[in-house]
Amino acid sequence: DTEVTQTPKHLVMGMTNKKSLKCEQHMGHRAMYWYKQKAKKPPELMFVYSYEKLSINESVPSRFSPECPNSSLLNLHLHALQPEDSALYLCASSQDSDHHYGYTFGSGTRLTVV
């Protein structure tokens, strides 16, 4: 298995909703990442998990809450989002976070906040 799987592919949520994005990989990678990508813009790093521990938080608002239950799973919990949070949320993984061999990206969750 050489893929990063993200669910759901599309999500529409209201500003008072609570939802979660899920990411899964079975490549034995020990670093996992959340990126946010707005239309026609590059991906922007949100969080880095290394060996299931949060190692980088790029000053992301607390309405985004990451969780790494085990080495294969990465969640992003969403609460009280704003319309400007609408974007493509990408999950990625790599062998480790110290020496990159490049990331493997998932296909993303397209989030719309109404």
Q: Which residues bind another protein (CB under 8 A)?
A: 31, 33, 40-45, 48, 50, 55-56, 90, 92, 97-108
Comparing CB distances to another protein, the nearer of 34 and 85 is: 34
Comparing CB distances to another protein, the nearer of 79 and 105 is: 105
Minimum CB separation of residue 2 from another protein in Å reads: 12
Minimum CB separation of residue 97 from another protein in Å reads: 4
Minimum CB separation of residue 16 from another protein in Å reads: 30
CA atoms within 13 A on the CB side of 112: 5
